[in-house]
Structures are given as C-alpha cells and as structure tokens.
Amino acid sequence: MALDAKELDRLLEQAFNEGTRLYQERGFQRRVGFGSRPALVSVDLANAWTRPGNPFTCDQEKMDGEIIPGMQKLLRTFRAHKLPVVHVTTAYEITDRNASFTDMGLWHDKIPVDVVNLKDRDLWAIDSRIAPVEGEYTLLKKRASAFHGTELAGILRAAGVDTILVTGVTACACVRTTICDGLADGFRTIAVKECIGDRVPGAVAWNLFDIDAKFADVHTVDECVEKIAALAG
C-alpha cells in the first residue's frame, strides 16, 4: 500500500501538538523574533533540486504548488523594499570520486554530489521561475550549510542584516544546517513554512517542528510579508 504523504503529515501534526506542549512546559519554543533589517537566504532552489530527473530532485507537487509560488511572493516583497537577497547553490569542480584531491571532500562517500558538476551550469543554476535579478547575490557552497566555509556571514553583516529568512531544500540537511549556523553566528532566524521542501514524506513536518522548538521561528509566507512591510513602513 502506497504511503499517503498528506495523511502522514496529518498524523505528524497530531503528534507534534503533544510535543509542543511538552517543549513549552520545559521552556523551549521561545521566540527569537524579527530584528530591524532582514535578508532572504534561499538555499539550493536550483534546477538539480527543483526540476525532475535528478538524484537531488525534491517533492515536485510541493515545489510547483507551494515553494516556487511562495518564493515569488517573498521576492516581490524583498525587491519592493530593496532588502538583501542571497541565492545559494551547490556545485563541484573536481567530481572524480577516485581523485586524490577534490572540493567534494568526503561528502561524496554519503550522497551523489558528484552529479552536480560546475561545468553543467544548468544543473546548479537557480530555477528560472525565481531567477536572481540585478543587485542580488548568488553564493556557491560546497557543504550543507550556506555559512560553512563561505562569505555569507560577512556580506550579511556588511549590509547591516540582523535577521535571515531561510527558504529552500532540503529541510533535513542544507536548510536546517544553514538555520543552525545562522543562529550560532548571531542572526535572528526565521524559517518560511511553505518555502521549505524535501524529498522524503514527513521530513519537512518533523524538521520544522524541531527547528521551531530550538533554532528558529517558523512563519508562513503571509506572516513574513506582513512583518517586512511593517518594518519597512
């Protein structure tokens, strides 16, 4: 019998409601809140993840029906208020798994990062439906977190950013580690609910529940748009 992803999410929500009660009794799930200058950090919404036919392809129903439309709405808001946007993608220059030296490190021993070769620009290019515009930055990372070994924290601080709205894929890996590192680096962290996806049923619901308890505030797209408009006004 095929797994009904929507039914799984419903059952997980019931379980997490009880988990929420336990966490709140113990002082978890506090609010980090928005600061005064937010930036949008969009993680791995590139073709290898957003389009079908790749080992990294994510849930296409959610991608086309929620993530991309949600991102389009967020981008309109950030652009209208001239706030920083960083598009993050992942690719590798040395993808020979037998090479004695490679920018893949050891990650290829766990997952097929070797399929995302820097030469195949279309694979790691940001999805055309949410393509960067002039004045936005595209950051190339090599590890799960957008902060690990990159210039991200520095360019955000130089722009006076104190809050990051994190979107993208996957909830259990690159989005989660970016949020954790963002908080550790002193940024207020907001996870945008409809704009975070994964490949595996239940992964988004579980990770957003746990992230909201420990590492970031989870908000809907509409809540984020409303908050940004209020900050800018």
| Three-state DSSP state, 57 | coil
Say what the pLDDT of residue 134 is. Answer: 97
pTM: 0.94
Residue-wise pLDDT for 75-131, tens only, equals 999 999 999 999 999 999 999 999 999 999 999 999 999 999 999 999 999 999 999
Confidence of residue 22 (pLDDT cuts 50, 70, 90): confident
Gap between the terminal Cα atoms of the chain: 52
| Three-state DSSP state, 91 | coil
Say what the pLDDT of residue 47 is. Answer: 98
- Exposure on the CB side of residue 195, measured as CA atoms within 13 A: 30
Mean pLDDT of the chain: 95
Strand order in the sheet with 163-169: 137-141, 85-90, 38-43, 163-169, 188-197, 217-219
CA 30 to chain centroid, in Å, comes to 21
Q: Could you give all domains of the chain from N- to C-terminal order, each with its CATH number?
A: 32-231 (3.40.50.850)
Say what the pLDDT of residue 17 is. Answer: 82
Tokens of 130: 């949410």
Say what the pLDDT of residue 201 is. Answer: 82
Indicate if the pLDDT at residue 21 is higher than 80. yes
Q: Which of 8, 42, 134, 120 is nearest to 50 (CA)?
A: 42
Say what the pLDDT of residue 197 is. Answer: 98
The region of weakest confidence among 5-14, 53-62, 182-191 is: 5-14
With a pLDDT cut of 70, the percent of the chain lying above it is: 99
Say what the pLDDT of residue 2 is. Answer: 57
Mean pLDDT for 147-157 is: 98
Residue-wise pLDDT for 34-82, tens only, equals 999 999 999 999 999 999 999 999 999 999 999 999 999 999 999 999 9
- Exposure on the CB side of residue 213, measured as CA atoms within 13 A: 19
| Active-site residue list | 174
- Relative to beta strand 85-90, strand 163-169 is unpaired
Say what the pLDDT of residue 3 is. Answer: 64
